[in-house]
Structure 1
């Protein structure tokens, strides 16, 4: 809900400004806001602590089970000719 109010406010302001002869350039402020948002999202993501060893092990195990399941289904459905 917090994002809905500024979004609608921006739509209304854009609608009001579209009939003006002189266009408002918003490329630079929009790019700066986007870069700041990505930067702050990176800071927030960096604060999360993970157990990298467990994550690596579970990812490898998941990949091996996926490969084994795919091979099993290929043999089961395709047979060996």
Structure 2
């Protein structure tokens, strides 16, 4: 589903009713966020992965990222 359609409708509704409706959206947004996180966890739990291989790939990627950043910083200091 395209996420921009509900977003635009929500922005328009908020703009049109900004001075008419006076209630707090904190509680409904918190509930919706918790449901979203719960269902993302359910979906993530259904995926079968090799966790050890993923850990190794993540550590290698993080190491290369750190080393690349340090290299760029050192090259920038020397100039």
TM-score tier, shorter chain, comes to 0.5 to 0.7
- In the alignment of these two chains, the number of paired residues is 67
Q: Larger Rg: 1 or 2? A: 1
State the superposition RMSD in angstroms: 3.0
Higher RCO (C-alpha under 8 Å, 6+ residues apart) = 1
Match of 2:46 in 1: 47
Q: Which blocks of at least 5 consecutive residues in structure 1 are unaligned?
A: 71-81
Under a length normalisation based on structure 1, what TM-score does the superposition of the two structures give? 0.63
Moved beyond 2 Å, runs of 4+: 52-56, 58-63
d(CA) in 2 for partners of 1:8 and 1:33? 18
